[in-house]
Amino acid sequence: MDATASVILAEQLRAWGLSVINVDDQTVSVTNQLNLALVEGVGALDGRYVTGWGYELGEAGDEPGAAQRLAYLLGLLGDAYARGTETRR
């Protein structure tokens, strides 16, 4: 994940109400602010966003979709939780 992609992904994750910490240029740590026990690391592998558990969130370039999938995994369900993301319908 290049620096630009990690910034875009972080913005999209924050729009879902998630807390994001840049661990390094390749990895971000994401926390559900409503339940601090729900934490996931996300990095890039072969052009795809992948969680620390190996779950593929999507391709680089589809940061809104990857953010939506991670928000769902961290307990934020549906479009009602999104604030200003491009993935809302």
pLDDT in tens, 36-69: 899 999 998 899 999 999 999 999 999 999 999 9
pTM of structure: 0.79
Give the per-residue pLDDT at 71.
93
SS3 for 35-78, per residue? EEEEEEEEEEECCEEEECCCCEEEECCCHHHHHHHHHHHCCCCC
**pLDDT for 78 beyond 90:** no
SS3 for 13-28, per residue? HHHCCEEEEECCCCEE
Q: What is the gyration radius of the CA atoms in the chain, in angstroms?
A: 12
- What is the phi/psi pair of residue 66, to 5°? -65, -40
Token pair of 52 as six digits = 């620390």
